[in-house]
Amino acid sequence: MTAVHSWDIAPPPRAAAPIAAVELWYREPAVDEQRATVRVTVDGQEPNLRGHFPGLAIYPGVFVIETLEQAMALTVQTERDPVLRRIDSVRFLAPLLDGDELTLAVVAVPDGDGWRVTAIGTRRDGSVTARIKARFERAGDDD
């Protein structure tokens, strides 16, 4: 039986961002960690993508990382957005083209003053597009 989720429309990011990299999201109940799934549709007409291989818009890897950053802001919901401090591992395994939908499943495990994060991105066809391991910290006064 497939679980039915209630998707929420993502608010605009609090910090300056190249794009709104999350359109829909939901949080999953979990113990000792925080889980969320976010979605964004690649729009080849988006001004930041139009020049990225004209005629063949590709969602760049740096935008996948931006999707993760915006997802973390929704996942942990602290007063200030968590700060990406380190990417331990990232693999981009399949392209995201105009019209594709990126679904990014995020697991954030508390670790000291931040979170160890793993994220797996997939397309609608089930292809894994990205695997990311990263470290986020709580925002401080000097951020």
Instruction: Respond yes or no: is residue 52 known to be catalytic.
Output: yes
Q: How far apart are the C-alpha atoms of 18 and 21, rounded to whole Å?
A: 8
Of residues 27, 35, 52, 116, which has the active-site annotation?
Answer: 52
Bridge partners, residue 134, by sequence:
87, 117
- Gap between the terminal Cα atoms of the chain: 44
Q: How far apart are the C-alpha atoms of 143 and 69, rounded to whole Å?
A: 15
Q: How far apart are the C-alpha atoms of 33 and 131, rounded to whole Å?
A: 18
Closest CA to 13 of 60, 62, 71: 71
**Active site amino acids:** 52
